[in-house]
Amino acid sequence: MSFAPHSSPVQKPRNLSLFLIALGVTVALLYYGRLFFMTLVIAISIAFLLDPFVELLMKAKLPRSVASFIVCAISLLAVYLLGLGAYTQVVGIIEDLPTYSERITELVDRAAARLEQTERRAEELLLPKRLRRNLTPEPEPPPPDPATRRRRSAEPPKPVIPTIPEVRIREERTPLLAQAYSYLKSFSLVILMASFVPFLVYFMLSWKDHIRRSYLHLFEGQDRQAAGRSWEGIADMARAYVFGNFVLGIILSVVSAIFFWAVKLPYFMLIGPLSGFLSLIPYIGFPLAMIPPFFVALPVYDHLTPYLVIGSVVGFLHLLALNLLYPKLVGSRVHLNPLAVTVALMFFGVLWGGLGLVLAIPIAAGVKAVCDNVPGLKAYGKLLGD
């Protein structure tokens, strides 16, 4: 008599333990290797952004390697020119920092004076006269007459009790050189990883066909078909998300810069793109988009009305982009429910900081694209979908 194979009761806890161990190892790798993974994800995103231009040059009978080199060279030149223009604007802001500092100090002092005046009025309204009379300081007593002064001088002096000097424990502080070394070390690692981005982008563009063929050869039969569909799903999603957000950021930057120029804000060529692209950050984009124009407006406007107008226009552009333009340019390819988006933002925001908020949605959408095309993972794709 034979028995059908079945899973033992010990197998499920063992599988759960292996899953938790794998999850912990993955989180540790993402955290401790965050600089490497962020560089890789940024390079992949830029490659997806530039790939349509490479395909356009290939239609003119150019080899992929030559087309990739031309697109990367033009992109680096554009980044250099934009960085040079931003540098001149930043230098102007640095030269005007004393003016901004004086203006901020003036606003803080004015706010403190108004707060003190409000507290005094509230005290006059809420406290009764008898209690206010008790809270008023008593007048100083008149000086003693000469006879009382002579009588006090004839009294024997009181014994002086020695006081124990207060011992202050001096906290150990990190030497200045150690702090500077740790800062320069972290900054040098960022510069080192950023220097790899152009090379990664070029090799991803020029070796795209080879990488795809080699990737598909890792699978056989139906698994190869699922891998091909996953590749195309990730490519379509990433291209739609990255390219759509880039186009939307350009539109917001141009419109914002024109508006800031119209209201005579200084450095509108810098704060326009800053406000436009910051507005695209999920959940916190609107308050971040208002910081650059409000900051440069401090020495310009002395009353509240211009700030309300600027905030209203920035909020209108933010809502217009998210509710009208974003669904047409991006939302048709990225089908994630709000809960999955929020969890992804929290997870990668904790692991990778502010940059994780920018990269969380494309990573989550890529995971969903894989789950949608792998038969055993379709349930997880539905869990992440809208």
Quick: pLDDT tens for 263-305. 888 888 888 888 988 888 877 888 888 988 988 888 888 778 8
- Which value, to the nearest 10 degrees, does the dihedral of the CA atoms of residues 107, 109, 114, 118 take? 140
Q: How confident is the model at residue 77 (pLDDT cuts 50, 70, 90)?
A: very high
- Give the pLDDT confidence score for residue 259 in this predicted structure: 92
Is the pLDDT at 178 greater than 70? The verdict is: no
Lowest mean pLDDT: which of 31-35, 70-74, 137-141, 178-182? 137-141
Is the pLDDT at 33 greater than 80? The verdict is: yes
| Sign, Cα dihedral of 281, 284, 287, 291 | negative
Over residues 145-165, mean pLDDT: 55
Is the pLDDT at 152 greater than 60? The verdict is: no
Is the pLDDT at 89 greater than 90? The verdict is: no
Q: Spell out the residues 6+ positions from residue 383 whose beta carbon is closer than 8 angstroms to its own.
A: 340
State pTM to two decimals.
0.68
Highest mean pLDDT among 56-70, 85-99, 293-307, 340-354: 56-70
Over residues 71-89, mean pLDDT: 87
- Listed residue (23, 20, 38, 47) closest to 363, CA to CA: 38
Quick: pLDDT tens for 180-217. 666 566 677 788 888 888 899 999 888 888 888 888 88
Over residues 74-79, mean pLDDT: 90
**What is the C-alpha separation between 372 and 230, in angstroms, rounded?**
8
Is the pLDDT at 75 greater than 80? The verdict is: yes
Over residues 370-386, mean pLDDT: 81
User: Of 6 and 254, which is predicted with more confidence?
Assistant: 254
Residue 204 tokens read as 């991803």
Q: How confident is the model at residue 4 (pLDDT cuts 50, 70, 90)?
A: very low
Q: Spell out the residues 6+ positions from residue 245 whose beta carbon is closer than 8 angstroms to its own.
A: 280, 329, 330
What residue ranges do the domains of the chain occupy? 24-101+195-218
